[in-house]
A and B are shown apart, each in its own frame.
Chain A
Amino acid sequence: MITVLNTIDTGHEDMIHDAELDYYGLKLATCSSDNSVKIYDIKNGTQTLAADLKGHFGPVWQVAWAHPKYGNLLASCSYDRKVIIWKESGEWTKLYEHTGHESSVNSVAWAPAEYGLILACCSSDGSISIIQYSQDTGNWDVKKITGAHAIGVNSISWCPALSADLNLDPLTNKDAPKRLVTGGCDNLIKIWREQGDQWVEENRLELHIDWVRDVAWAPSLGLQRSMIASCSQDKRVVIWSSDDNVSWTPTILNTFDDVVWSVSWSLTGNILAVSGGDNKVSLWRESTDGQWLCISEVAKGLGQTPNDERSTL
């Protein structure tokens, strides 16, 4: 069921840490330890190198695409303690450089477009920055949460604007709270809520017994509840679900053979891609009885489907 479309020769000189597709799934950005970010155009299943962005002086850990209504914007974060926002206008140029962290910046995420142009990033110095573009002044305003996670924050993800707060209408109700989830080296997952102009810790989710490597808030298309996937050095992937964004229930999706590094939701939020230290990527779907089933699994370069063909949806 899952088949290899193609293997991309990236020309990166070192390990690739992240690969992100843009809003439409037509541009692919990769970042690597070789300090570079590369952008590919994907057309008809083939891809061409569109840009090679050099500006970091350290391994680039993660990239994130902004919503296209703000133009083609890409944020990248690096071991060199910087976050760079790149913009395409003809060619790719540096739009803004954020240098407010004292240690490696590990993760970046754009807020849902409804909130404006807001970028969150988190660092090994234990702090989170929320950088907001002000249309009026043309400046980037930085808010910082210090001491978010002891020893460092590894991953950050936004709650979608259309979230389980069904009573709150994000378009008309300005008070719809913005939320963030972070995973850190203190083995915790924390949920942050904006209150006034402060960010407060709303929840801390404890279950992992080792560093949390990645967290991902599920896109909410059609889902009635919020879900957060987290993965950790402890080899486990946990799905946290909530009907009100306040109380969260964990479900252990699976315990893998090795460290799990990365999780990613499909657009509809019902399929989770998990990529782990056993060099496999696997897709998971929740069955009607709340169990998570692996619907397909591929070792690097090979396509295969375990057991059942999935529904005809």
Chain B
Amino acid sequence: MIPSNTICVSEEGPANALALNKDATQVVIAGRNVFKVFSIEENDFTEVCNLRVGKNLNLNFSSIDVAWSTIEENTLATAATNGAVVVWNLGRSGRSKQEHVFSDHKRTVNKVSFHLTEPALLISGSQDGMMKCFDLRMKEVARTFISNTESIRDVQFSPHQAHTFAAVSENGNVQLWDVRRHERCLQQFTAHSGPVFACDWHSEMPWLATASRDKTIKVWDIHAKPNLEHTIYTIASVGHVKWRPQKKYQVASCALVLDCAVHVWDVRRPHVPLATFAEHRDVTTAIAWQNDPNTFLSTSRDCSLYRHRFSEAAHPVLWANPHGVCVSARGDVTHAAPDCPLPALHTNPASDRYVPGLGRKQPTAGSLRPQAQAALERLFPGGAASVLTRYSGEGRPPCCVVACAKEYKMRGLPTHELAEHNAKVARAYNRHMVGHVWEVVRCVYGRPPPREPPEREPPPPPPAHTNSNAVEEEPLEEVEQWAETQFHNSGVLGMPTLSIYIPPHKYKIRHDATGACGPEGSGWVSAASAHYVDVETADWTLPEEAFPLRAPPPAHQPSILDTTHGRAAAGGASPGGSSSPGSGSSGSNGSACTAPPNLEQTSSAYPGAATLCRAQPEEGESGPLWVVHEALRPHVEPAPLLALALRHHADLGDVQTAALVMIVLHEHRSDLFPYIDEGLQEHWLLGYIEFLQKHKLWNVATEVVRCAWLSSVWSLSQQSSSVTVCCGRCGRRARPRAMCDRCLPHPDLCAVCRQVVRGLYAWCQGCSHGGHLEHMRQWMEKHQLCPAGCGHHCQLG
């Protein structure tokens, strides 16, 4: 797809060079197999003349370069691969326009240039390292300039000093010569680290642009001593360079390899081209401005000749991302933005948003309106600066969450205590919502311990209610206030046992007839686990019908409770289980025992809906009491609500709360399983672990892994641990079971006697210093610090 204002003509073969006549109405292209003159019309090229005619198409027709006299309308010169410099006269009658052949160079001629004011002077630069000035009137070589370099790639007359020309060579040098003096050059300097392929004089400034294989274009001020003014960095070897007329800072270039496009650069912005013309399918071989800053011609190895209009340019800078934004693990936002952003540039509605066909790799060309393009050109050099700013994003959270992560406890205590601790931590960091969740967990999954833990028998009733008369005056509705729970940390793994205090007088009230309750002690109902109490403790009412009287149970174990009790007892024996309710409760207060159904049963079969209690009075007391409690309000079901809360927090990005509540719930965790599937649990845990690792909280992360209940998570502890072996002397990483490369020549010396140790070598594992076994032993008898003087308190053996 060719932009509408660009014209193109295809040739028989690739052209190596092109030249315009002095009024830029005609163009000549020259290559190995092509040599034609076209006239440049408004919308197309018209072939004026094919110069590659005649019987003997010898190597003289195989051109590397072509030049059109800047004064004579009809005079052309070509540089041929065989070393010939051929002068052509378009005014000749007949088919052959060849005027004269100079066969003075021994090797390929790379470049021919006409003198800008003397029509008869032509200069050539050749692979043989010589430049020759030809006099076209005399048809002879006027002078030969010997560069003392391997080969000359370009020669250009200065527009400022009529007799000065610049020559660039493959060894990276630039030479300035006076065309009248062939003995030695005026100046010489090294411009590039690689071959220089082209140069171009600025029309107004005393500047010379040089293009090199080192992928740079350099601009030299050669007013006095050559001074590097600008360096442009391109992506490929630069083959040609041409200043844009009337634009002080702009220069066009094309690459020798890799990059097919023609770029126009602003020397003040050396990394990004101002404009790009990407019509060619193969590398561009020559460019020439059409005496005006808005059109230029180019030929390419793809056998085409193009005239480009600047208005058709693509502007890569408009397509480069000027913004970068990144949110860090710590919540900071880093933002890179241009210091002076370009204003909104209005695009051409005609070409707007038309995405050309496949294979087109460059951004839409020619989409800018002329004013917009002018604005871009003006603002372009100043648009280079970017500002990189860091913001503290999101406000406080990250640091608070990290601080909480450090201070939260996740094991070692019963759920409600952990929850209480964590709630305090969260509130301390002003995370009230999170604190609230913890409070809820605390309330739901446990009660605070009683003010006076009844260590001994008989357990004292709560102080406020020691007076039994006062107690009796309490209204029945407040019974729940009397239900006190007590945890006994069973020690092994923090599985609590729970006792529920039922004030004796209540038993009296309800069971006077039975006389079942003793005056003291018998009010304690114990549960093996806090789980058992569940939410019912919060609204524990004992309706009359909840106490169906039963016959006294057989000696100790009622049959229906056999299994559960037995399981609990077995659990108590195993490291992961809880203490048996029977022993736990009777051991502490010996008054009552409630055997819990196992956890799954409770949660699945009748979660929180019904609770079975059994008060078993101590031996010798009055008859045992069976309490079957069926809660009246089964709709209070904390698990789904809590699950919902955790999901909500996770959705808010607070995976910490979600994961940690799950951890802290310990044995209650299974309550939530119906509402939070395993995938999500794992997701939370792994997410939290990643969060911790991002904050380098390795210990906390390890703790989480340790507390995890999912095999996929705790198996992490067996993964991705790597041990690095470092050289004890220099600290560099070493290969396992191999000496450090750097320290290999140094044998191990005894830290005490400084001699090489042969035989047994004893060393401290802490600081890795050591020496002869006997020396070390003697030293350590008298000293505690390392003999090497490292200050370590060594421990040997």
Contacts and interface: CB of A to CB of B under 8 A. Distances in A.
Contact of A270 (B358, B386, B653): B653
B335 A19 contact: yes
B390 A262 contact: no
A222 B393 contact: no
A229 to B, nearest CB: 11
B431 A313 contact: yes
A265 B716 CA distance: 26
Q: Which of A61, A210, A262, A288 has the most CB of B within 10 A?
A: A262
Interface stretch (A136-144, A162-170, A191-199): A162-170
B135 to A, nearest CB: 44
Contacts of B641: none
A265 B388 CA distance: 18
A32 interface: yes
Interface residues of B, number: 86
Interface stretch (A200-208, A247-255, A277-285): A277-285
A44 interface: no
B361 A124 contact: yes
B358 A267 contact: no
Interface string A36-60: 0000000001000000000001110
B458 to A, nearest CB: 47
Contacts of A268: 653-655, 691
A264 interface: yes
Contacts of B194: none
Given A2-B391, A14-B272, A15-B272, A222 B650 contact: yes
Interface in A97-115: 103-104
B679 A171 contact: no
Interface residues of A, number: 90
A111 B347 CA distance: 38
Contacts of A166: 677, 679-680, 683
Interface string B238-266: 00000000000000000000000000000
Contacts of B395: 1-2, 310
A162 B655 CA distance: 13
Contacts of B690: 221
B393 A17 contact: no
Interface in A232-257: none
A262 B323 contact: yes
A112 B608 CA distance: 43
Contacts of B431: 312-313
A283 B333 contact: yes
B238 to A, nearest CB: 12
A151 B716 CA distance: 44
Q: Which of A19, A124, A258 has the most CB of B within 10 A?
A: A19
A146 to B, nearest CB: 12
Contacts of B712: 169, 171-172
Nearest to A8: B388
A2 B333 contact: yes
B300 to A, nearest CB: 17
Nearest to A61: B321
Interface string A208-221: 00100110000011
B715 A276 contact: no
Contacts of A79: 235
A232 B625 CA distance: 75
22 contacts: A1-B395, A14-B386, A15-B338, A15-B383, A16-B324, A24-B329, A24-B696, A57-B236, A166-B680, A169-B682, A169-B712, A221-B690, A222-B650, A222-B651, A222-B684, A258-B344, A262-B321, A262-B323, A264-B326, A277-B322, A281-B325, A313-B433
Instruction: Give the top 7 A-B pairs by smallest Cβ distance, nearest first.
Output: A166-B679, A222-B655, A268-B653, A25-B328, A270-B653, A221-B687, A222-B650
Interface of A: 1-8, 10, 12-21, 23-25, 28, 30, 32-35, 45, 57-59, 61, 69, 79-81, 103-104, 124-125, 150-152, 162, 166-167, 169, 171-172, 185-186, 210, 213-214, 220-224, 258, 261-271, 273-277, 279, 281, 283, 288, 296, 298, 300-301, 303, 310-313
